[in-house]
Every structure is written in structure tokens, then in C-alpha cells.
Amino acid sequence: MAITIAIASGKGGTGKTTISANLSVALSKFGKDVIVLDADIAMANLELVMGLDGKPITLNDVLAGSVSVEQAIYEGPAGVKVIPAGVSLDSFKKAKPEKLLEVLTKLHELGEIIIIDCPAGIGKEALTAISTAEHLILVVNPEISSISDALKVVAISRRFETNILGTIINRTTAEDSELSAKAIETILEVPILGIIPEDPNIRRCAAFGEPIVIRYPDSPASQAIMQIAARLTGKE
């Protein structure tokens, strides 16, 4: 039986797409059969980070009902199956987010772990993704605005009975102004799953379309992501 994990945040730009891509590759390196799906159908950044941009058939087409989900699956780095969202405005307008549940049910037959790269916030598309996933990982930055927005996602997840696996604190630096992991854990009442430091190689990798865990496996961010994957697979 496959499991679905939504990668969500309140605030935009916290690192959901970066983490969805890299965690998928990391889980694949631990032997899991992973599908990563770009549910941020308005932004569609996952394909860039995975080096798979410009594919002809995307999730938008699947949600518009014109193709089957199998046709929108592409082989990405480390054998991860990637379903891009697509950038065509036309198919985006026709896409019906509520069809996502049907798509996820089908994906359960095609992989072991399904990672959903969510849109930020609690708009219709984000709510659909959060409510259809069984599990959720929160991505926050160590600052108060990010945490207060994340609180809304925690409340929504609880209402939908989506199990929150934990919080990933992304882009930590050694600055005094940063909220501590302990404070974040206390405010959100969610355990910390991992801490990923600010790492300039992440942006470099995005430009090359290659996940950091492949291009710079020894970098601090890569090691942090591998550790999170180990924890999730019980191999820590």
C-alpha cells in the first residue's frame, strides 16, 4: 500500500519544491519507489528543479480530463517518477483540482511513496492537496511570519485528519534573530523532522536542473535531506 505525503507551507517560497524534489531522490536512494507530483499547478517549478521542463503532457492535462495520469509520468533523477504541472495557461484554465483524489488513487498502484509538492497557503488547490494526502510535512523558515502562517496549515490538516509527520525548518543560518527549533516546535505543537541549513549550492542546482542530493551529495543541505529520508524510512 502506497503512502502520500503532502509537502506544504503557509507562506510561499519556504522551500517546498526544493524539498519535494530532493526528498524524493533521497527516498529513492534508500530503495523506495517514489512518485513526485507537482500540485502547484499555477507555478509549476518542480520540473525545473528536476531537469524535466517542457514535457508535452502534464498534470494540468490529466486534471482537465484529456489524458490518463500514466501519460504524464516521466523518469527523473535516481529513477524518481515525476509528474510535472506544466506551464500552459490553456490547460491550467481547464484543470479541475477536485480530480486530484482520483489521480492519487490511481498513483497508489504505481509507486510506494507519493510526494505532493503543494501550492503555498490554504487556497482551493492547496486545500485539495492537503485533504487528499494521508500525511503532511510542514516546511517553514525560522522566522515568525513563516511560523504564524504554518499554524493555519496545522489547523487545516487537523480538521481534514491529515497526519502531520513533522516540520522541516529550512534555510537556517547562525543568526541570533532566528527562531530556535525548540520555539518552533512549541508554537506549532508539531515535532521537528529535520533542519536544513541555508546553502548557496541549492540555488546553483536549481539553475542546472539537478537536485542538490545528486550534484553536491556532501553539502550540508544534502546531508540534512538524506537524514530526513533515513528517518522517514526507519533507516536512521
Binding residues: 11-18
CB neighbours of 11 closer than 8 A, spacing ≥ 6? 120, 121, 140, 141, 145, 146, 149, 150
Size of the site for ligand ADP (CB under 6 A): 18
Show the 3-state SS of 9-25.
CCCCCCCHHHHHHHHHH
CB of 70 to ligand ADP, least distance (A): 26
How many angstroms separate the CA atoms of 2 and 172, rounded?
32
Q: Convert residues 17-36 into a mask of x (bound to ligand ADP by CB under 6 A) and - (unbound).
A: xx------------------
125 contacts ligand ADP (rule: CB under 6 A)? no
206 contacts ligand ADP (rule: CB under 6 A)? yes
Strand locations in 118-216, DSSP E?
135-140, 163-172, 192-197
For ligand ADP, the closer CB: 38 or 64: 38
CB of 45 to Mg ion, least distance (A): 5
Look up residue 158 and give its amino acid.
Answer: R
Given the rule CB under 6 A, which of 6-14, 64-72, 96-104, 157-165 is the region that contacts ligand ADP?
6-14
Strand locations in 109-184, DSSP E?
113-117, 135-140, 163-172
Q: Which long-range contacts (CB under 8 A, 24 or more apart) does 201-209 make?
A: 202/18, 205/49, 206/18, 206/48, 206/49, 208/51, 209/48, 209/49, 209/50, 209/51, 209/52, 209/53
CB 138 within 8 A of CB 9: yes
CB of 149 to ligand ADP, least distance (A): 11
79 binds, among ligand ADP, Mg ion, none (CB under 5 to 8 A by kind): none
Residues 28-87 that bind ligand ADP (CB under 6 A): 45
Residues 39-78 that bind Mg ion (CB under 5 A): 40, 45
5 contacts ligand ADP (rule: CB under 6 A)? no
- By CB under 6 A, name the one of 24, 60, 128, 170 that touches ligand ADP: 170
Q: Rule CB under 6 A: which residues touch ligand ADP?
A: 9, 12-18, 45, 170-171, 196, 198-199, 202-203, 206, 221
